[in-house]
Structure 1
Amino acid sequence: MGFESTVLIIGTAIDAIGVALILFGVLLATGIFLRELRRGGAFPVAYSSYRQGLGRAILLGLEFLVAGDIIRTVAISPTFESVGVLALIVAVRTLLSFSLQVEVQGRWPWQSPKERRPQS
């Protein structure tokens, strides 16, 4: 087995971990949400917690997906075109991660934890 095939397998495995983390997080957050509703919890509180759980799962999974892309692109075929496509993918995923983090934390990254944005 050569270097390229090993790196490809590693990158694909990291992608699979990212997808599994998102799936596991969605299932876990959904289970917690349903349990809270069954226990008679307030829907708005349970829903807010559910959205935060989903956001955290997606954020963690995205980090692994970006890592898998970087490993495969840089180690296997570092052409100008492939690095450009990687940069675009990373930019989109970073923007998505940024917006999810704002949603989960309820504040902008430059705000202190005590300064929260108004809930809508």
Structure 2
Amino acid sequence: MNDLIAPTALWCATIIEAIGIGTITLFALYALFNAIIRMIRKEDSDSIFQELRQSLGRGILLGLEFLIASDIIYTVAVELTFETIGVLGIVVLIRTFLSLTLEVEMSGKWPWQNNQ
């Protein structure tokens, strides 16, 4: 049974990881393309910069969620050892910290604060 689960989980983790990388890449390219178009139109540079940062931040946040899911699948289903669980914990902690700081930077407040 494990001979079937591990390769399937590895395949799924690889696909989800590729989706995460693709998401970040596509959002970055879209945000950059949109900013260039707006610069050509001579729009306000401050609003262009803010929207570029917002779009890029959203893409990174979404991509990080996919990458975390991929790491969890790989660790739990393919290579379950105390060492890989420790590494997974550190990776998830770092990526969660990055997600939290990006969210704070984009919205200007902590996620648990009321929408005021």
Relative to the length of structure 1, the TM-score reads: 0.90
> Which residue of structure 2 lines up, in the alignment, with residue 59 of structure 1?
61
Q: CA RMSD in A?
A: 1.2
Mapped partners of 2:58, 2:28: distance in 1: 9
More helix by share: 2
Runs of 4+ in 1 over 4 A off after TM superposition: none
Matched residues, percent identical? 44
CA deviations on 1:44-95 (whole Å, 9 max, x unpaired) are: 1110110011100000000000000000100112211111110000000000
Give 1:35 shift. 1.4
The partner residue of 1:33 within 19, 32, 35 is 35
- The answer to whether the 8 Å contact 1:107/1:113 transfers is no
**Of 12, 15, 18, which residue of structure 2 is paired with 1:13?**
15
Q: TM-score, with normalisation over the residues of structure 2?
A: 0.93
CA distance in 2, matches of 1:15, 1:101: 21
Q: Cα distance, 1:32 vs. partner? A: 1.1
**Structure-2 residue corresponding to 1:118:** none
Q: How does 1:72-87 map to 2 (within 5 A)?
A: 72-87=74-89
Number of aligned positions between the proteins:
114
CA shift for structure 1 position 111: 2.3
Q: Is the 8 A contact 1:11 1:69 kept in 2?
A: yes
Runs of 5+ consecutive residues of structure 1 not aligned to the other structure: 115-120
Offset at 1:99? 0.4
Farther off after superposition, 30-39 or 58-67: 30-39
Where do 5+ consecutive residues of structure 2 fail to align?
A: none
* Mapped partners of 1:113, 1:55: distance in 2: 20
